[in-house]
Structure 1
Amino acid sequence: MLARYLGLLARRGTAPYKPQRLPAKFDNVIVAMSSGVDSSVAAALFAGEFPNTRGIYMQNWSESQSLDDPGKEPCYEKDWKDVNRVAEHLNITVDKVNFEQDYWIDVFEPMLKGYSEGSTPNPDIGCNKFVKFGKLREYLDEKYGVNNYWLVTGHYARVMQEVESRQSFHLLKSIYKPKDQSYYLSQIDPAVLSSLLLPIGHLTKPEVRDLAKYVGLPTAAKPDSQGICFVNNSQHGKFKNFLKHYLPSLPGNIITIDPESGSKTPWGKHDGLWSYTIGQKVGLSMPQGDPNYQGSWFVSEKLKGTNEIVIVRGRDNAALYKDTIRIKSFASMCSKEDTIKALQDTSALTLQFRSLQDPIQIKSCTLRDPATGTAEDLDITIELASTQRAVAPGQSCCLYIGDRVLGSGPISCVK
Structure 2
Amino acid sequence: MHTRTRVVAFQPPVCRIVWAPRFAVKSASNKNSRRASQHEVKAATLTNLSSDRTERRSFVDCASEDTLHHPSQLPDDRQILQGCESVRAPLNVAVLLSGGVDSSFALHLLNRAGHNVQAFYLQIWFQEDFRNYWDSCPWEEDLSYCQQVCKDADVELHVVPLTDEYWDRVVAHSIAEIKAGRTPNPDILCNSRVKFGAFYEYLASHQDHNFDRIASGHYARIIRGDDPDEPVRLALAPDAVKDQTYFLAHLTQPQLSRVMFPLGSLNKAEVRALAKAAGLPNQARRDSQGICFLGKVKFSEFVEQHLGVWPGCIIEEETEEVLGYHQGFWFHTVGQRRGVPLNGGPWYVTQKDVHTNTVYVSRNYYSVDKERNLFTCESVNWITRPPDSASQVLCKVRHGPVLYKCDVSFTNGDQSAVAVRLECNDQGLASGQYAVFYQDEICLGSGVIQTTGVSHAEIGSFVDDQTKAVL
The superposition leaves residues 87-136 of structure 1 with CA deviations (integer Å, 9 ceiling, x where unpaired) of 00111110000111111111111100111111111000000010000011
Of all paired residues, the percent bearing the same amino acid is 28
Change (3 A) 1:51 1:122: closer
Q: Report how many residues are paired.
A: 378
The superposition leaves residues 162-191 of structure 1 with CA deviations (integer Å, 9 ceiling, x where unpaired) of 478851210111111121111001101221
- Of 112, 116, 119 in structure 2, the residue corresponding to residue 52 of structure 1 is 116
Change (3 A) 1:41 1:346: same
Change (3 A) 1:96 1:164: closer
1:34 is paired with a residue whose SS is coil
Q: Is the 8 A contact 1:29 1:50 kept in 2?
A: no
Mind listing any 5+ residue stretches in structure 2 that lack a counterpart? 1-74, 454-471
Alignment correspondent of 2:268: 205
Q: TM-score, normalised by structure 1?
A: 0.84
Alignment correspondent of 2:429: 391
1:299 is paired with a residue whose SS is strand
Q: Is the 8 A contact 2:252 2:381 kept in 1?
A: no
Change (3 A) 1:369 1:26: closer
Q: Is the 8 A contact 2:397 2:434 kept in 1?
A: yes
Mind listing any 5+ residue stretches in structure 1 that lack a counterpart? 13-18, 289-294
Q: Is the 8 A contact 2:231 2:253 kept in 1?
A: no
**Structure 1 position 53, deviation (Å):** 0.9
Q: Is the 8 A contact 1:122 1:395 kept in 2?
A: yes
CA distance in 1: counterparts of 2:391 and 2:256, whole angstroms:
26
Q: Is the 8 A contact 1:302 1:308 kept in 2?
A: yes
- Of 412, 424, 429 in structure 2, the residue corresponding to residue 369 of structure 1 is 412
Residue 58 of structure 1 aligns with an amino acid whose one-letter code is L
Residue 30 of structure 1 aligns with an amino acid whose one-letter code is A
Alignment correspondent of 1:250: 310
Alignment correspondent of 2:393: 349
1:175 is paired with a residue whose SS is coil
Alignment correspondent of 2:213: 150
2:402 is paired with a residue whose SS is coil
Q: Is the 8 A contact 1:117 1:273 kept in 2?
A: no
**Structure 1 position 30, deviation (Å):** 1.0
**Structure 1 position 318, deviation (Å):** 5.0
Change (3 A) 1:91 1:213: same
The superposition leaves residues 261-304 of structure 1 with CA deviations (integer Å, 9 ceiling, x where unpaired) of xxx32222222221111111154444x5xxxxxx4211000112
1:178 is paired with a residue whose SS is coil
Farther-moved stretch of structure 1 (182-191 vs 146-155):
146-155
**Correspondences of 1:170-181 after superposition (within 5 Å):** 170-181=233-244
Residue 309 of structure 1 aligns with an amino acid whose one-letter code is V
Alignment correspondent of 2:199: 136
CA distance in 1: counterparts of 2:436 and 2:394, whole angstroms:
8
The superposition leaves residues 37-69 of structure 1 with CA deviations (integer Å, 9 ceiling, x where unpaired) of 000000111224436211000011223486355
CA distance in 2: counterparts of 1:299 and 1:73, whole angstroms:
32
Residue 369 of structure 1 aligns with an amino acid whose one-letter code is N
Alignment correspondent of 1:291: none
Alignment correspondent of 1:8: 79
Q: Is the 8 A contact 1:151 1:196 kept in 2?
A: yes
CA distance in 2: counterparts of 1:51 and 1:367, whole angstroms:
43
Alignment correspondent of 1:292: none
CA distance in 2: counterparts of 1:158 and 1:257, whole angstroms:
44
- Of 94, 109, 126 in structure 2, the residue corresponding to residue 30 of structure 1 is 94
Q: Is the 8 A contact 1:367 1:379 kept in 2?
A: yes
Change (3 A) 1:361 1:48: closer
CA distance in 1: counterparts of 2:87 and 2:423, whole angstroms:
43
CA distance in 2: counterparts of 1:320 and 1:346, whole angstroms:
32
CA distance in 2: counterparts of 1:313 and 1:189, whole angstroms:
42
Alignment correspondent of 2:297: 236
Please state if 1:120 is matched with 2:176: no
1:412 is paired with a residue whose SS is strand
Please state if 1:266 is matched with 2:322: yes
Q: Is the 8 A contact 1:298 1:315 kept in 2?
A: yes
CA distance in 2: counterparts of 1:215 and 1:60, whole angstroms:
29
1:200 is paired with a residue whose SS is coil
**Correspondences of 1:307-346 after superposition (within 5 Å):** 307-318=357-368, 321-334=371-384, 338-339=385-386, 342=387, 344-345=388-389
Q: What is the alpha-carbon root mean square deviation over aligned residues?
A: 2.5
Higher helix share: 1
Q: Is the 8 A contact 2:86 2:113 kept in 1?
A: no
CA distance in 1: counterparts of 2:438 and 2:215, whole angstroms:
23
Residue 272 of structure 1 aligns with an amino acid whose one-letter code is G
**Structure 1 position 305, deviation (Å):** 2.3
Change (3 A) 1:152 1:83: same
**Structure 1 position 395, deviation (Å):** 0.7
Q: Is the 8 A contact 1:254 1:270 kept in 2?
A: yes
CA distance in 2: counterparts of 1:305 and 1:150, whole angstroms:
47
CA distance in 2: counterparts of 1:314 and 1:241, whole angstroms:
30
Q: Is the 8 A contact 1:279 1:320 kept in 2?
A: no
CA distance in 2: counterparts of 1:319 and 1:67, whole angstroms:
46
